[in-house]
Amino acid sequence: MAGIDIQHKHSLPLTKARKAVEDVARKLADRFDFEYGWDGDEMHFKRPGVDGRIAVGKDDLHVTARLGMLLSALQGTVEKEIRKVLDEKFS
């Protein structure tokens, strides 16, 4: 099973970082058709073949995801899109 593990620095207050993560999730959900929800400062997202989370810390984000066999072929595309959206919102 392929995986994604991205750490991304940010300098936003925690509430604004959570809002930005919500915006990122909405954008990625539109593109990749997944469901998401919050558990404390972690956003969990899921769809068939993908199970992941975005942990929002004081000064960084940690995105992890497990990709099933069918989506593992798209790992590079998915990771590139996540990095692009994070750069847009947090740089």
Q: Please state the pTM of the whole predicted model.
A: 0.86
Give the SS3 label for residue 74.
coil
pLDDT tens digits for range 4-61: 999 999 999 999 999 999 987 887 788 778 899 999 999 999 989 889 999 999 999 9
Taking CA 41 as the corner, what is the angle to CA 35 and CA 46, rounded to the nearest 5 degrees?
20
Under a CB-based contact definition with an 8 Å cutoff, are residues 27 and 18 in contact? no
What is the predicted pLDDT for the residue at 1? 63
